[in-house]
Structure 1
Amino acid sequence: MQVVVLKLDVHCEKTKQKAMSTVCCLSGVNSVEVKDGKLTVTGEIDAYMIVKKLKKICHTEFISVGPVKEPEKKKPDDPKKPETKPPDVIYHYVPPCPPYYHNFNGCYNEDPNACVTS
């Protein structure tokens, strides 16, 4: 992978779009970006072919050609921090309330010798 930065003499938006579409159609191009008259192309590309195609559209100059800068890898922390153990949790057991039994004898009459008819 390499990055090619080119200077373009672009005076209108139409020419800028035409240059971008021309570069995007080339094989091996991963990304194309235009800022302040500079065209940045990233990918497995031939810088000479890009300039050859763009010179038909507008005046083009090389600024730089080089490998893609990889993002810096984060270095692991050498001093190991002691592992903090969470405090032990103490659970209190609360027994449930005993069920309430209501003693019900069915029918309640004041006179136990009363006659029941069905």
Structure 2
Amino acid sequence: MKKLVVKVELHDDRDRRKAMRVVSSFEGIGSLSMDSKDNKLTVSGDFDPVKVVNKLRKSWHTEIVSVGAGKEDDGKKDEGKKDEGKKEERKKDDQVANLVKAYQAYCSTPVTHYCVPPEGTLNCVIC
């Protein structure tokens, strides 16, 4: 989870809407908020901050205020869900690890190719 805060020079509401639309088109955006008074755009989620800033810089003057890890929700209601989520992640990680091991075992055996000349020819030049 990442949190990106950028200052974007926007002149009117139309530019603000365009900037919000451009940023929201990226995959992995969790939340998006705009402080119109300070022209600060806050983006959080699992995304690439470099791509977001580059896209904004194509149309507007953009300054990076901060980039860092985003805060997870610390609510007591979510604690049970977090434990269940961790268990599910462990199961998925175990499944992926098992699949990787199986694939490596399958692909580690050497593959031997034999060239058998067709009947009637004495030598096989190109195999």
Q: Distance in 2 between matches of 1:21 and 1:33?
A: 12
| 1:13 partner amino acid | D
Report the identity percentage. Answer: 41
Matching residue within 59, 63, 67 for 2:61: 59
Residue 72 (structure 2) aligns with: 70
C-alpha separation in 2, matches of 1:4 and 1:19 = 14
Query: Could you list the runs of 5+ residues in structure 1 that have no partner in the other structure?
Result: 75-118
TM-score of the superposed pair, with normalisation by structure 1: 0.58
1:33 Cα shift?
0.4
| CA deviations over 1:33-87 (Å, ceiling 9, x no partner) | 000200000110111100111012210011101111235567xxxxxxxxxxxxx
Which ranges in structure 2 are unaligned for 5 or more consecutive residues? 77-127
Which residue of structure 2 lines up, in the alignment, with residue 43 of structure 1?
45
Moved more, 14-23 or 62-71: 62-71
Distance 1:57 1:68, change over 3 A: same
| Structure number with larger C-alpha Rg | 1
TM-score by length of 2: 0.54
Distance in 2, Cα, partners of 1:28 & 1:72: 21
**Aligned AA (2:51):** M
Partner of 1:27: 27
Greater share of helix residues, 1 or 2? 2
Contact 1:15 1:57 in 2 (8 A): no
Aligned residues: 74
Q: Is the 8 A contact 1:4 1:41 kept in 2?
A: yes
